[in-house]
Amino acid sequence: MLIFPETKFDFCGDEYIYAEISTEMRIESNFKSISITNELRKRNIPGMIEVYPSNASYLIRYDPTAISPHHLLDYLQEIDQQKSHRSELHFSSRIIEIPVWYNDKITKNTIERYQHLQPEAGGDDFIHVMRANGFTEADAFIAAHSSPPYFITSLGFKPGTAWGFPLGVPQNKIIQAPKYPSPRSYTPGEALGIGGAFTVVYPTESTGSYQLIGISAVPVYDPGQNLSLFRDSFFLAKPGDLWKYRPITEAEYYNIREEVEKRTYEYKVKAIEFSVEQYDEKGDHYISQLMEGF
């Protein structure tokens, strides 16, 4: 049974209210954050400008000339009470397939350039993460990482960066990795990285400190909106989405890249309704039900 601590609200300057659902990262807190921020968007409260969901909190920006901060706080507290019941934690979502070339040559070239930043990895992030999680065979590690869907908890760092947390995996089986002690000055666009328990796809070339274990064949950021799934947004991810990584070969990677360049690639997507109550009761069995036919 889900039990949430009392949400802590703070005024930040003259235009923001910060809500802290919990002090630690719990996936249940993120479910609540997404449910609340979705509800706030639906209500379209006059004077509310922007809503920023995060892992275990959310931030509201408002116009103090249009709404009293104390009146807005009343709204937030009322919605927070409503969304403290697991039966109220549900939202529309999507499962999106991300084809990934694991243990690829592209990110390996980058890793070798920065091996001085973490000598203990021996210039190979993939092997470093694999061994740190008790795997001795690459295929077994890839299967373990690509099996669960990854719940998109929040967006940030750079436009299009989405943090994914694995669902339906026992806590002691979640693949985790420390970040680089000092960040790289370069990371290839679409590189797949792990930091802590989170997996991300770097949307563009950038700095970075996550361990690189592969590369996505498809973009997660499309400012030109060249592919059909980006018609409504430059960003592939929305908080509450589930990403499913599919291992592919080097040949498949370049075939898909060609489709992307020709603007003919179609993402595999499944619309779902995510119920936190069902997830709380059934766990990995519920995730398996959601993934049926995908």
Tens-digit pLDDT profile for residues 21-33: 988 777 888 999 9
Q: Tell me the mean pLDDT in the region 208-231.
A: 96
Q: Whole-model pTM?
A: 0.92
96: confidence class by pLDDT, cuts 50, 70, 90: very high
In 3D space, the residue among 84, 9, 6 whose CA is nearest the CA of residue 39 turns out to be 84
Pairing of strands 242-247, 150-155: antiparallel
- The enclosing H or E element of 143 equals helix 138-146
Instruction: Convert the pLDDT of each residue in 221-271 to its tens digit.
Output: 999 999 999 999 999 999 999 999 999 999 999 999 999 999 999 999 999
Q: Tell me the mean pLDDT in the region 46-55.
A: 92
- The domains of the chain, with CATH numbers, are 8-87 (3.30.1360.40), 92-291 (2.40.100.10)
Distance of CA 21 to the CA centre of its chain: 18
Rounded CA separation 230/207 (Å): 25
88: confidence class by pLDDT, cuts 50, 70, 90: confident
The rounded percent of the chain whose pLDDT value lies above 90 is 79
Quick one: tokens of 82? 């409503």
Question: What's the whole-number average pLDDT of the chain?
Answer: 93
Task: Please compute, for residue 145, the number of CA atoms within 13 A of its CA located in the half-sphere on the CB side.
Answer: 35
Q: 210 with 188: CB under 8 angstroms? A: no
Q: Tell me the mean pLDDT in the region 93-106.
A: 97
